[in-house]
Structure 1
Amino acid sequence: MMGIQFRKRQKYGPLVLNFTENGYSSWSIKIGRWSWNSKSRAHRVDLPGPLSWKQDKTRT
Structure 2
Amino acid sequence: MGLMFRKRKKYGPLILNFTENGLSSWTIKIGRWSWNSKAKAHRVDLPGPLSWKQDKSRA
Structure 2: which 5+ runs fail to align?
none
Pick the structure with more helix per residue: 2
Give me the TM-score of the superposition, normalised by structure 1: 0.86
Cα RMSD between the aligned structures? 1.4
Give me the TM-score of the superposition, normalised by structure 2: 0.87
Aligned residues: 58
Structure 1: which 5+ runs fail to align?
none
Name the counterpart of 1:45: 44
CA-CA distance at 1:5 after TM superposition: 2.1
Q: Give the fraction of aligned pairs with identical amino acids, expressed as a percent.
A: 84
Name the counterpart of 1:27: 26
